[in-house]
Amino acid sequence: MERTTTYFEQKGLPEPRINCEWLLAHTLSLKRFDLYVNHDRPLNATELAVFKSLIQRRVKREPLQYIVGSVEFMGLPFTVRTGVLIPRPETELLVEAALSICESRSKPIKILDIGIGSGCIGISMAYYLRSKQIPATITGLDISKEAVELSRLNAEQIVSDCDVTLVEGDVNLVRSVSKLGGPFDLILSNPPYIPTGELGDLEPEVRSFEPVEALDGGTTGLDFYKRIVSLAPEWLVEDRNSVVILESGYRQAPEIESMLVERGFAVKKIKDYNFVDRVIIGSLFRS
C-alpha cells in the first residue's frame, strides 16, 4: 500500500493514501477499516491484477466513486456510475434543510425533486421521513434516461417500500404539473450551475468524466434556476406555506435570491462548510 500511495503522490492525485485504501478495500471486498485488521494479508495473482487495473484507472483521473461504484450520502449507500453526477457532501445541507421543514408539517407531504441524478436528494428524503413517521410522496424528474434508471435502482435498494415515483422528462417541456402528481409542498433541486465558460477549469475528474449536461448551467450558470423559479409558484400548493429549496453555485446566491423575491418568496440562505451561501430556501406564503 505504501508503494501505491507514493505512486499516487508522484502522479499528483489528491489524498493519495485514502485513494489507495479505497481501491484496495474494493479489490478485496473489505471495508477500509478491515484493511488494518488484515494488513499482512498478501494479494493473490488475481487480486493483484485487479488492483493494478484500478490503480491505472485512477491515475487517468477517473473518479474514485465511479471506480468503486458507490458513494455514501446522508449515511446511505448510493450506487453511482458513469453518465450520472456524483453526489457531493454540500448537497446534504439541502436535504437537512428540507427535513427540518417537513418536521413541522402535520399533513402528508408531496415533494418534487428536479434533476434527480443518482436520486440522492429524493431517496434520502423518503428514507428519513419514513424513519420519522412523516407521510410523504416523492416525485423525481430528470431529462437523463441513465439518471432515472440509476435512481430507480437506488430507490429499490434503499427505500423499496416508500412512495417514490421517478419520471424521465425535460422540466422545460412539462406543461402541466398535474402530470407529475402535483402541485407540491416542496420543490427541491440541485440544478446544473457551472457557467459554460468555466467548465474547462474544473478538476479533470469532473470535466472529463461527469456528464456535462448535469454541470452546464448556461452562460451565467443560472439558466435552470430561472426556469425552476418561474415554475415554482404554479407548481406549489396554494392552501398553505410552500417552499422551494435550491443548491446554489459559488457567488450565485444573490441572483437566485432576487429571482425568488420577484416571484413573491421570502428567502433564507444557509452557508456550507466553507462559509459560502450554498442552500437557498424560498417560502411562498399564501392564505
In the chain the domains, ranked by start, together with CATH numbers, are: 2-60 (no CATH), 71-284 (3.40.50.150)
**How crowded is residue 143: how many other Cβ atoms within 10 Å of its Cβ?**
16
Residues 6+ apart with CB under 8 A from 131: none
Write down the pLDDT at residue 243. 96
Write down the pLDDT at residue 38. 63
Write down the pLDDT at residue 171. 86
Per-residue pLDDT reduced to its tens digit, 177-190: 888 998 999 999 99
Cα–Cα nearest to 118, from 85, 143, 73: 85
Per-residue pLDDT reduced to its tens digit, 126-177: 999 999 999 999 999 999 999 999 999 999 999 999 999 999 998 888 877 8
Low-confidence ranges of the chain (pLDDT < 50): none
Write down the pLDDT at residue 162. 92
Write down the pLDDT at residue 117. 96
Cell numbers given for 39:
494488513
Write down the pLDDT at residue 240. 64
Q: What DSSP character marks residue 201?
A: G
Write down the pLDDT at residue 133. 93
Write down the pLDDT at residue 30. 81
Give the burial string for 71-97 (b: 16+ CB within 10 Å, else e). Answer: bebbebebbbeebbbbbeebbbbbbeb
Query: Phi and psi of 139, rounded to 5°?
Result: -120, 130
